[in-house]
Structure 1
Amino acid sequence: MSSYRVRRPGARVDFDKPLTFSFDGQAYDGFAGDTLASALLANGTRMLARSFKYGRPRGIIGTGPEEPNALMQIETGAHTIPNLKATQVELYDGLVARRTTGWPTLEFDLKSLGGLFSRFMPAGFYYKTFQNQKLWPKFEHIIRQAAGYGSAPSEPDPETYDHSHRHAQVVIVGGGASGLLAALLAGRAGLKVVLLDEQNECGGWLLSSPHSVIGGEQASAWLKSAVGELQSLPNVQVLTRTSAFALHDMNLVLAVEQLQDHLPIADRAAHQPRQRLHRIRAERVVLATGAIERPLVFGNNDVPGIMTASALTTYLNRYGVAVGKRILLQTSNDHVYQGAADLARAGCEVVLADTRTRINPAWEKRVRAAGVDVRTGFGIAYARGRRAVTGAQLVKLDAQRNVVVGSGPSIDCDALGSSGGLSPTVHLYCHDGGRPHWDEERLAFVVPEAGRAKSGIYGVGAVTGEFGLQNALEQTERITRELLSSLGKSAPTSSGNLKTDEPDATPARRIFRVPDGRAEGHGKKAFVDFQNDVSAADIHLAVRENYRSIEHIKRYTALGFGTDQGKLSNVNGFAIAADVLGKSIPEVGTTTYRPAYSPVTFGTLAGAHAGDTFEPRRYSPMQAAHVARGAEFEPVGQWLRPWYFPQTGEDLHAAVRRECLAARRGVGIMDASTLGKIDLRGKDVREFLNRVYANAWTQLAPGKCRYGLMLDENGMVMDDGVTACVADNHFLMTTTTGGAARVMTWLEKWHQTEWPDLDVYMTSVTDHWATAAVVGPKSRQVLAKICSDIDLSPSAFKFMDWREGTVAGVPARVFRISFSGELAFEVNVDANYGHHVWEALMDGGREFDITPYGTETMHVLRAEKGFIIVGQDTDGSMTPLDLDMAWAVGMKKPFSFIGKRSFARSDTAGPNRKQLVGLLTDDPQIVLAEGAQVIERADVTPPAAMLGHVTSSYYSPELGRSIALAVVRDGIARRSEDGHKSGRDLLYAYAGGKAHKVTVVSPVFVDPKGDRQNV
């Protein structure tokens, strides 16, 4: 390939700013404005990669996100990035790039030896070979190494990333001529507009064809004027280097903005993120995403130096690079003619072979005047060359029957460009369920120009099949005015003269592959998907092997996989499949387009959620008070909760023993602010609670509380908590600390999908309330010192009641509920006053030796009472009956609830289920390991039947011995009652190589009648 620089007027390269960079350790020169691809081409680099399957030499084919071959490893160390496309990497001084394929070297790739036996590796080769599962482990590492394609950095990423959330009236995707015109019209109408374009500047195809004429002036002048006006409008934001990679329901556009990737690493600002993820919710979305030129399929069409015809034009006009001196252009349409003329005027020797016999006379006149040799009725049978194209063999075509009727001349060339037409970039339109339709006249899958107007999605320009510049601009003006009208606006001024100098289009010829069977028959493969080495013969084979759906053909051949997502290959593949199946292209249809349109870094998706911010730590309003008292903390979900409060010389066990005895015999205080709290309102709130809880809520009066079990569809316990009736249409639900978000999602799911007719509104208020639980026999005396407007007497304020009043001068809700089995009051105040009220309670309890306690003591206290913790004593397979909590299930209530029907299943209602029990060890000083397996005999010689396991295990200061909760098969029937042992109650708990004898008892170890909490 004889590439060289051409200083073209209008080129976007600054020839006064030279840059240096390296590729595979060799130094090269480039200029500001280059991409890595254009700079490598300008330096005459022929081969950049090896193909995935056969190790064939590969070079650059395109100019943007459609590039399948030139995948680069950029930079080194912590800054390295794999698989960036050289066509999208902006050149900067000192850039370091290396290949991602080719081993041991790019020049000699061992995988290419396998390519000599490609006839034995057709489509489906891997599937068939590795049906023998014993083979895959032996060859996996070899295959993965041979695949290449870069490596992820092994060091922590030093860059930062950002997320932005915004709203716009109109989001326009694509900054080409149509996108710019739509933005101008919407911006002039006063709408809030965001224009997104993935390139470093707006212009689209106008950057590659700056000498086209719009309204009597050169396109470059029109472009400069349009961009300048948009930048002057305060209601318009233009984001370049920003790729819209997903379009979701309700017009949510996701876009990634590259803020510093174009800068040398040393020049990147430490305070600025490398990339930013934009989440934009739009009233209207305009897709001006353009189209990608698809190559023709012929023998050896993957040789380096063979590109799309538009790529040759772009490298010439935009980057000042002539890819070759002798250029062969193969086309079936008018789109290459302007580029052919430009190449010829730049001094290239150009031969243009058109598969049509009747071509556009206006275009023919232009290109012949520029010195282009035009050959009509010819197609390429195959290209010559291995590491660089050296020529091509033409064949004579019958225009009507699309068959080869004779041989043609052999053309020498050092660069070859082909054009099989344009493929609109329909990906975003399809992300949320839209489907493009086949336009036979334009030979493309297109987006309807009205898009899905009811959803606020419109298409303009080439994405709708309007490939001519003038027609596209006129259509854009018309569609944009319709959009403005839908928002109650009108375009205040005309967009002016939109007339261009393009000749009228001549119909393109439907040709996706020159039908010359001899090419592949002589080893000259005709590739459809370059990245995955999928040839036309592979698609034929897939059909012969009875694959009929295009989705199945795709998966069998790997057509459209990889980083380019079929941008170049899909339509050619669909057409070849249609031809083999004897169907029309629309009958074959398209495969499914899924986000992301182009690759997105994990850093961008994560944003600031990395390191300590990956799971943001949440603190209760009393955090400072706990720190001041020397608390040790433990994470509970996202919350950081006090674990225990050690005094001088105390370890965990000593501190917990002291805290437990204080709560049982005096008064303790615990921060319960982290419990999930959900405010439910609406006239149907009681009915809603009846459906989501297992027990009944119809009769619960205001001022009362009730404990409830929440079940999943299988009847298994998923959460529990106390819910208070504030008013007939107002309840406050509490959940477990770790289950708050899950329960909120669960409630919303059922309300929105199953019972949208119920008048219920849910709000998470966990962070709104601070909660202090005052626990123990002296808790009433403590609370009475700082609360004078609530009657705390046992007769006026009973267990499971709640009252409103004032605590320490702060409006409060006080609940008489207990997770310890002792007399207890939970004081809830506005979170802003949490610290104040906590300190007031500590001052009020000083004379009673009030003792703060943490989660470890809370666990011991509740285990002594047999109170479960969902997720610790349950595992998603426990029903209320398994927990001996039938009292919390309203089987007789006249309405159903989630999970009710599951109780009738044979498995759920049958014998041998694991049930919650208590365990007492023979040696009261042995504390069983949580997770210890429960077995029938001390002999653990395999196989040993596992009856269950220990779920909670502690030393009980109140009892002076160890206790444990466990789930055991038929556990309730095994329980020893009142110390009378039956034999079945004697089991063993096995852990750490030892089996300890245990007795199965009731899980309630302390105060089994509940007298203490009712005083």
Structure 2
Amino acid sequence: MTSGDHRIVGGRVTTGRTLRFTFDGKEYTGQEGDTLASALLANGVHLVGRSFKYHRPRGIMGAGADEPNALVGIRRDRARYTPNLLATQVELYDGLDAVSQNRHPSLEHDRMAINDRLLSRFIPAGFYYKTFMWPKKAWDRLYEPRIREAAGLGVAPSEPDPDHYTQRYAHCDVLVVGGGPAGIAAARQAAEAGARVMLCDDRPRIGGSLLAAADTMIDGLSATEWLTRELAALAALPGVTLLPRTIAFGYYPHNWIGLTEKLTDHLANPAEGMPRERLWQVRARQVVLATGAIERPLVFPDNDRPGIMLADAARTYLQQYGVAVGQRIVIVGAHDNAYRVAHEMAAAGVTVAMVADIRPPSAASGAAQAAGLPVATDARIEGTTGGLRVASIIITALGKTVRHDCDAVLMAGGFTPSVHLFSQSRGKLAWDEGLQAYLPDVSAEAERSAGACRGRFALAEALGDGIAAGRDAASAAGFTASGPAVLPTVALRHAQGHGGHMGAAPTSRDLGKAKAFVDWQNDVTARDILLATREGFLSIEHVKRYTTTGMATDQGKLSNINALGIVSEATGRSIPEIGLTTFRSPYTPVTFGALAGHARGDLFDPARITAIHDWAGEQGAAFEDVGNWRRAHYFPHPGEDLHAAVTRECVGVRRGVGIFDASTLGKIEIVGPDAAEFMNRFFVNAWTKLGVGKCRYGVLLREDGFVMDDGVVGRLATDRFHVTTTTGGAARVLGMMEDYLQTEWPDLNVWLTSTTEQWSVIAVQGPKAREVIAPLIEGLDISAAAFPHMSIADARICGVPMRLMRVSFTGELGFEVNVPSGHGRMVWEAIWERGKAFDMVPYGTETMHVLRAEKGYIIVGQETDGTVTPDDVGLSWAIGKAKPDFVGKRSLARPAMTAPDRKQLVGLKSLDGRTVLEEGAQIVAPSAATTPIGHVTSAYRSAVLDAPIALALVRGGRQRLGETLHVPMPGGPIAVEIVSPVFYDPEGTRIDV
């Protein structure tokens, strides 16, 4: 061992250049290729954090994604601060600035450690459920802020993230997750068969366990040489994509896998403009999960001191990074890996003070003793001592209890297959009694697992399993392997062994009193789990939530199996009876930036604007958001507020002519020989007999019979319909149409095309509408006789193509001029110039709402709330009575849908003649003033009627015409009369002129 630090001769990073970094303001040096964790350990730093709840000193425990303690913040500059990163996954670069978390004020002197010394007996599992229930109002003001101050992890960044992130969609024949020996073997077999292969691994270098396999020979080559050969061969094959620094965080339906690739976090000075991360959304024909296994810790008293870590992690630091985690170590184990680690540590010059095996004597223990290693079998682990680092461990063996001085304790409890992604895919797991682990059983996706993640722990088995999985995946994707599989030969200096233990390790201590940690990240002890079982929480999902074991980012990586073992022993039930908690994505945390990609700032919620938007802005329009669209709300003149402007606009439309931008309406073209049949099945209306050139108001239901959307539909030809939808419903309606066409009616010969953005729609409404637009139109007679209400035709206006619809949402003579969006402003301005001679007014969405309410026209989403049928809003006339079926028809036949006390659309008239009701206000009958029988859906002041008007849904409303009801308000109830919802021109004479 070299002097001055904990580097040893060997390791893959010792030839790298020296890098300087800081941790909590103190400067250290590491080497290129280090992680922050390996560099800290190389400098003898084990204390890296404080525990979540008790603020106990915590050290580095693992070497990868399973690390529970070493969460740090990385600061590049004021705006670039990232909390809660695993030091085991942070690559070292020159100038890296890392800080510890959850300590007040420092790691060495944390005043919140009082939680451990004095308060821990008062804050067991579930204490907050029992303690903070009284007084009720104290939680938000008193308890929660204090608990959050005491617990928690990193501090959220205070500045906007200045980096950018990219996203990519990809398809492949075979996706291999995991770059260990099984994954590499699978990828090569699939690629050599001709499949397009993607291989991802979360580490900077692909290789998995082979990166720390100094005692291994494969096909006569060292593990390093074999790995170099295989990766070079893979990279040379066509269609192969190798993705290091890329973790598969989620497995979603239809073989859709989410990956995040780190691009610049390992660079000291990333090039300007380089993305920080890339989110891959991969659709794979076949998936091979080669996700490996996680070493299982042992549960014994005080097993969380800095310096206590997983034995295989210590091997990784030794062989891959050339770092000895201690100078005098004790290994406690229930698996032969304990002896493999002991031999390698001793060979590197580390003093092995004891190998304490909780199992009986075995061949592996005998071989270790023959090699001169001190070994104790049938051992009991009584606990550890130490402050900011472990100082000793107490072992009972052969009837003697001995304290062994040490600066590191390594735990080898066996290996737990990493089945997280398989479980996320909805695959079924099966308990293997021999391995004491859950293994993948029945796949739900086009997937197969290989290697250690399905219990093939031995290297030769893992390689063979990977070869078989790769060939099988390629075959399932349609490719054939070129020749027979050749299994590599493997030689190991030390056997990888067998064994394992779950639950609490043997000890003389009372686990009901000791702190024997099961979940290091959430500060959950065996005592907490035993308490949960005593309090009746027998389901493992309930135990998880009551104690928080396996929650948050841990997701059961280290804690799950031991928690199951403790519950099993405490309740006398087998592991399969207890079950397994649900593994949720993401497997490891994913940055918000990666998920958002470029959808930030204005791109987070992009504002869609029409071709007329800028013109409206130039006229001083006030805008509002409607769905994703920015729409003109009203056009105020100097000194006018909303009410004054809307009053003027309403009067202008009713007495003369108004112009309105209706471009945001959804528009869908339905074309094909079966277009009419599709329309018949989809909408409630009948469409077969609708003539070409005619329009009809269409109503669309959900499967449950409730109104989903509406709009005017025009028939352009026997095989072509122009369908309009509400502004907010366009995507929803098109999606539903595609769903039915592809899954329910694939026999129909129909094409669906969204044309919302292709057409600018200019609504010209009012008694003088025809006079304004007629001179501008070419090739179409729009007189009342030639072009009656509810007509549609293609023609030209101002020299450009036009689709004209004679429809009205105001109750006045109306036309909707559809022109290609590129000509929208030009045509608008031409109509506007022509309309000036007729005192034309531009009007916005608020005026549109008032005008349609005066006519009793509904707006889906305002007069409907997801529980409204066509009859409820007076649209039963639209239903095609002779139609055999349409979406929602069967649901309409349910008795509840025709009950006489259903809420029905009515009008409301304020009896005082002046009060405008509040939308959403409840309505009650005078005889039952506390029981709502309806609510106000729309309320305005009508300029043309010089009175307030309102629409409402009231129980049995149509039978209550003339009845007086009340609208309770803070200032007192308001008396209203139930009237017809049509306030203006009930005969409809103005629309047909």
* TM-score clears 0.5: yes
Q: Which amino acid aligns with 2:355?
A: L
In the alignment, which of 844, 854, 865 is matched to residue 864 of structure 1? Answer: 854
Residue 142 of structure 1 aligns to a residue whose secondary structure is helix
Any idea what the Cα deviations from partners look like across 1:28-60, whole Å, max 9, x if unmatched?
A: 333332222222222323433333343333222
In the alignment, which of 539, 544, 549 is matched to residue 549 of structure 1? Answer: 539
Moved more, 371-380 or 247-256: 371-380
Matched residue, 1:166: 170
1:4, 1:322 within 8 Å by CA — same for their partners in 2?
no
Provide the C-alpha distance between the structure 1 equivalents of 2:215 and 2:330, rounded to a whole number of angstroms.
23
1:4, 1:324 within 8 Å by CA — same for their partners in 2?
no
- Segments of 5+ residues of structure 2 without an aligned counterpart are none
Matched residue, 1:295: 297
Cα gap change, 1:111 to 1:806, in 2 (>3 Å) = same
Alignment partner of 1:202 is 2:206: yes
Tell me by how many angstroms 1:560 deviates.
0.9
Matched residue, 1:440: 433
Cα gap change, 1:884 to 1:990, in 2 (>3 Å) = farther
Any idea what the Cα deviations from partners look like across 1:540-585, whole Å, max 9, x if unmatched?
A: 4433444332222322332211321110111122233333333433
Residue 554 of structure 1 aligns to a residue whose secondary structure is helix
Provide the C-alpha distance between the structure 2 equivalents of 1:506 and 1:220, rounded to a whole number of angstroms.
18
In the alignment, which of 800, 803, 818 is matched to residue 808 of structure 2? Answer: 818
Matched residue, 1:600: 590
Residue 559 of structure 1 aligns to a residue whose secondary structure is coil
Tell me by how many angstroms 1:605 deviates.
1.8
Provide the C-alpha distance between the structure 2 equivalents of 1:437 and 1:339, rounded to a whole number of angstroms.
30
Matched residue, 1:477: 467
2:612, 2:661 within 8 Å by CA — same for their partners in 1?
yes
Alignment partner of 1:320 is 2:298: no
Provide the C-alpha distance between the structure 2 equivalents of 1:247 and 1:970, rounded to a whole number of angstroms.
48
Alignment partner of 1:215 is 2:208: no
Provide the C-alpha distance between the structure 1 equivalents of 2:851 and 2:693, rounded to a whole number of angstroms.
26
Moved more, 225-234 or 648-657: 648-657
- Scaled by the length of structure 2, the TM-score of the pair is 0.89
1:122-521 equivalences under 5 Å are: 122-130=124-132, 134=136, 136=139, 138-210=142-214, 212-233=216-237, 235-264=239-268, 267-350=269-352, 351-357=354-360, 359-360=362-363, 369=371, 372-396=373-397, 406-407=399-400, 409-447=402-440, 452=443, 455-492=445-482, 498-502=488-492, 508-513=498-503, 516=506, 518-520=508-510
Cα gap change, 1:270 to 1:943, in 2 (>3 Å) = farther
Residue 518 of structure 1 aligns to a residue whose secondary structure is coil
Cα gap change, 1:821 to 1:473, in 2 (>3 Å) = same
Provide the C-alpha distance between the structure 2 equivalents of 1:856 and 1:117, rounded to a whole number of angstroms.
61
Provide the C-alpha distance between the structure 2 equivalents of 1:109 and 1:337, rounded to a whole number of angstroms.
40
1:675, 1:736 within 8 Å by CA — same for their partners in 2?
yes
Tell me by how many angstroms 1:248 deviates.
0.7
Q: Which amino acid aligns with 1:341?
A: H
1:911-990 equivalences under 5 Å are: 911=901, 913=903, 915-919=905-909, 951-954=937-940, 956=942, 958-959=944-945, 961-967=946-952, 969=954, 984=963
Q: Which amino acid aligns with 2:98?
A: A
1:21, 1:92 within 8 Å by CA — same for their partners in 2?
no
Provide the C-alpha distance between the structure 1 equivalents of 2:608 and 2:775, rounded to a whole number of angstroms.
31
Tell me by how many angstroms 1:975 deviates.
8.7
2:910, 2:974 within 8 Å by CA — same for their partners in 1?
no
Provide the C-alpha distance between the structure 2 equivalents of 1:457 and 1:987, rounded to a whole number of angstroms.
63
Moved more, 152-161 or 252-261: 152-161
Moved more, 571-580 or 492-501: 492-501
Matched residue, 2:59: 59
Tell me by how many angstroms 1:105 deviates.
4.3
Cα gap change, 1:419 to 1:901, in 2 (>3 Å) = same
1:21, 1:30 within 8 Å by CA — same for their partners in 2?
no
2:6, 2:41 within 8 Å by CA — same for their partners in 1?
no
Provide the C-alpha distance between the structure 1 equivalents of 2:438 and 2:932, rounded to a whole number of angstroms.
61
Matched residue, 2:49: 49
Tell me by how many angstroms 1:414 deviates.
1.4
Tell me by how many angstroms 1:457 deviates.
1.0
Any idea what the Cα deviations from partners look like across 1:306-363, whole Å, max 9, x if unmatched?
A: 11101111122222221111111123333344432221122111133334445456x9
Cα gap change, 1:892 to 1:430, in 2 (>3 Å) = same
Cα gap change, 1:504 to 1:360, in 2 (>3 Å) = farther
Provide the C-alpha distance between the structure 1 equivalents of 2:369 and 2:488, rounded to a whole number of angstroms.
24
Cα gap change, 1:232 to 1:366, in 2 (>3 Å) = farther
Provide the C-alpha distance between the structure 2 equivalents of 1:568 and 1:37, rounded to a whole number of angstroms.
18
Cα gap change, 1:229 to 1:900, in 2 (>3 Å) = closer
Residue 501 of structure 1 aligns to a residue whose secondary structure is strand
Provide the C-alpha distance between the structure 1 equivalents of 2:532 and 2:917, rounded to a whole number of angstroms.
61
Provide the C-alpha distance between the structure 1 equivalents of 2:511 and 2:486, rounded to a whole number of angstroms.
56
Residue 510 of structure 2 aligns to a residue whose secondary structure is helix
Any idea what the Cα deviations from partners look like across 1:117-169, whole Å, max 9, x if unmatched?
A: 64555444443445657374543322222213122123322222222212122
Any idea what the Cα deviations from partners look like across 1:883-931, whole Å, max 9, x if unmatched?
A: 444434567866576387568666973459474315367667x866656
Any idea what the Cα deviations from partners look like across 1:631-681, whole Å, max 9, x if unmatched?
A: 543322111223345677876666655654554444433222210123446
2:318, 2:325 within 8 Å by CA — same for their partners in 1?
yes
Moved more, 576-585 or 588-597: 576-585
1:920, 1:1000 within 8 Å by CA — same for their partners in 2?
no
- Segments of 5+ residues of structure 1 without an aligned counterpart are 397-404, 977-981
Moved more, 113-122 or 71-80: 113-122
Provide the C-alpha distance between the structure 1 equivalents of 2:545 and 2:301, rounded to a whole number of angstroms.
23
Any idea what the Cα deviations from partners look like across 1:673-708, whole Å, max 9, x if unmatched?
A: 210123446777666655654555454344332223
Count of aligned pairs = 985
Provide the C-alpha distance between the structure 2 equivalents of 1:377 and 1:118, rounded to a whole number of angstroms.
32
Tell me by how many angstroms 1:833 deviates.
4.4
1:879-890 equivalences under 5 Å are: 879-889=869-879
Q: Which amino acid aligns with 1:10?
A: G
Q: Which amino acid aligns with 2:952?
A: V
Any idea what the Cα deviations from partners look like across 1:988-1009, whole Å, max 9, x if unmatched?
A: 8968x59888766544343221
Provide the C-alpha distance between the structure 2 equivalents of 1:487 and 1:930, rounded to a whole number of angstroms.
58
Matched residue, 1:93: 94
Alignment partner of 1:898 is 2:888: yes
Provide the C-alpha distance between the structure 2 equivalents of 1:506 and 1:159, rounded to a whole number of angstroms.
44
Moved more, 228-237 or 840-849: 840-849
1:769, 1:829 within 8 Å by CA — same for their partners in 2?
yes
Matched residue, 1:399: none
Q: Which amino acid aligns with 1:668?
A: G
1:56, 1:115 within 8 Å by CA — same for their partners in 2?
no
Tell me by how many angstroms 1:72 deviates.
2.0
Residue 984 of structure 2 aligns to a residue whose secondary structure is coil
Provide the C-alpha distance between the structure 2 equivalents of 1:756 and 1:921, rounded to a whole number of angstroms.
56
2:791, 2:805 within 8 Å by CA — same for their partners in 1?
yes
Q: Which amino acid aligns with 1:353?
A: A
